[in-house]
Amino acid sequence: MSRIAQRFKELKERNEAALIPFITTGYPDLQQSLRIVLALAEAGADIIELGIPYSDPVADGPVIQKASQQARAAGMDLKAFFSLVAEVRRKTGVPLVAMTYYNPVFVCGQKRFADNCRQSGIDGVILSDLPPEEGEEWLKIAAGAGLDTILLAAPTSTEERLRKAIDSTSGFIYCVSRLGVTGADHDLSSSLRPRLERMRAMTDKPLCVGFGLSMPEHIRQVAALADGAVIGSALVRLIADNAAAPDLLDKVRGFTALLKQATIR
């Protein structure tokens, strides 16, 4: 059983949803982002998504775009990413998901990328712009390396596409809460509940919701409907607002603990 599957099993027994924070690695700098990941794990993150910054993040809103740009300017690259992961893995058993776009993986070589993921301690991979039709080769390589590949289900996905995503995904399925790109919102989309109910009827695989979640109330609502909640831009913005503050890590821990509370049903 993969580390991600094991985590969902434990959460189910405790009647909790997964809290899945996302951060852009290398932001605000390499050392701080390592401390941030460890702080997330300490404060109760169930799975952590580690963004590998990319030059053209078409699925991301302004907060993550800016963090990605700064992380790259500060020297973040694949080599630094895998050393960060290895460092994290030495200190915690929290499931780790690498999230990026397809081009860095393609240029690195899919096999080499998957091997590096496995060796450094990554458990799953999300490639935002690789739909299952184009990802057949990656899905095979990832499975061969023992990695989960988490596919996305969008509000626009047809029944046929949902079926395809559900069948091909492993670890969990990432349900995009609304149209548009990543970013923190005030309210959750009203169409979320019926969509999750429809998907629940289609699969037993864990359903996790992301895009737009920014506060404990959102997590509470999602925890009632799904198996996990992803929080990205709101966390990256907290890091951006406190990048130079001496209590940055305390703030990250406090925010994470607050969100984790909201996942307890």
Minimum distance of other proteins from residue 225's CB (angstroms): 19
Annotated active-site residue 87? The verdict is: no
**Residue nearer to other proteins on the CB measure, 44 or 171:** 171
Minimum distance of other proteins from residue 107's CB (angstroms): 3
Q: Of 10, 16, 46, 49, which residue is the catalytic one?
A: 49
**Residue nearer to other proteins on the CB measure, 75 or 144:** 75
User: Which residue ranges make up the site for other proteins (CB under 8 A)?
Assistant: 54-59, 61, 65, 69, 72, 77-78, 101-108, 128-131, 133-134, 151-158, 161, 165, 176, 179-181
Q: Of 60, 123, 148, 227, which residue is the catalytic one?
A: 60
The residues near 31 (Cβ < 8 Å, ≥ 6 apart) are none
Annotated active-site residue 129? The verdict is: no
**Residue nearer to other proteins on the CB measure, 165 or 259:** 165
Instruction: Write out the catalytic residue numbers.
Output: 49, 60
